[in-house]
Amino acid sequence: PKVTAASASVEHFAPSNIALCKYWGKRDQALNLPVNASLSISLDYLGSFTRVEPVENGVDEVWLNGHQLLPSSRFSQKVSAFIDLFRRDQDLHFKVDTRNNIPTAAGLASSASGFAALTLAMNDALALDLPPEHLSVMARMGSGSACRSLFTGFVEWEMGVREDGLDSHGVQLEQTWPGFCIGLVEIDAGEKATDSRSGMQRTVETAHLYQSWPLQAAADLSKLQQAIAERDFELLGQTAEQNALSMHATMIASWPPLLYWQPESVAAMQKVWQLRAQGMQVYFTMDAGPNLKLLFQQHDRAELLQHFPTLETVEPFGN
Ligand code: 2P0
């Protein structure tokens, strides 16, 4: 982008997103170009508020949930490197203040909403006026999954074919699904030991099983598109759950092994399978962390809450 003068403080919100077909593996590390296309649902009001304002002291300042981070911290460095894409060679620095209303680093993709909100804020601060798909390309360079958080509802991340990545961005699907619910089962909100970036790199480099992943993901993506078009909840749930478990199988087959599950994660999976055996249409998906995200429909919410009393539920399209 062409840079003009930096303006005063601006704030933007972007939602977190949960992938039904996961992004796992890069064909280009520097540009965050994925090996496979993915499909997610944005979480409505759960996400990140990011405020950006110019500072005069010659370095970026990064704040997360009310605390200033050390410039040497992983997140600070990632944010500063991302701002480099906007400021280019200009002597412009910013205070970036991000507040998440979801647990940070607990596998709830706060980096996705954070970089999406930061992209919107930088676009405003520098008066760039970029179109949505270009904003999504920029967000992707901060964190791959952030390109999906630029949009609401169902979003497909088209992997693209270009080497410069300009065709690798999120696209919002037209379809809605009133009554579609996501439930967050928090197993552990602590910081995870291996972040997604190094986790997916390790999987690509060491797991033979990963060779089967691109085909699995492509097949799952078409099933999900069909399920969304026909509002076939069973097809959607089965596909999303199998996709997540397939991704985790490639992680477990890495070396050193990458197992994000805790005993309570497995217990929650078994509870979901038990409820399904009793006839309830409830499915789960999991990301690079121990927490489960449940997929279900509004008419099952009350009964599901009896089995998962602390469930935080979101209805991305209302009910
Ligand atoms: C996803 N995840 O599709 C997958 C499933 C985690 C598991 O996208 O290196 O933080 O910044 O591009 O976007 C998390 O990976 O990784 C993620 P980078 P990112 O939601």
pLDDT at position 7, please? 66
Classify residue 36 as left (phi > 0), alpha (psi -120 to 50) or beta.
beta
Ligand 1 neighbourhood includes 285 CB (under 6 angstroms): no
Sheet holding 292-297, edge to edge: 283-286, 292-297, 180-185, 312-314
Per-residue pLDDT tens digits for 245-296? 999 999 999 999 999 999 999 999 999 999 999 999 999 999 999 999 999 9
Which of 40, 143, 195 for mutating ligand 1's site (highest number of atoms within 8 Å of CB)?
143
Q: How far is the CA of 24 from the centre of ligand 1 (A)?
A: 7
Per-residue pLDDT tens digits for 217-241? 999 999 999 999 999 999 999 999 9
Question: Which one, of 250, 242, 251, lies nearest residue 212 by Cα?
Answer: 250
Residue with the nearest Cα to atom 9 of ligand 1? Answer: 197
Q: How far is the CA of 7 from the centre of ligand 1 (A)?
A: 31
- Closest ligand 1 atom to residue 143 Cα is 11
Ranges of residues in the chain with a pLDDT under 50 are: 1-3, 105-107
pLDDT at position 2, please? 45
pLDDT at position 190, please? 73
Q: How far is the CA of 112 from the centre of ligand 1 (A)?
A: 8
pLDDT at position 319, please? 85
Ligand 1 neighbourhood includes 100 CB (under 6 angstroms): no
Residue with the nearest Cα to atom 11 of ligand 1? Answer: 143
pTM: 0.95
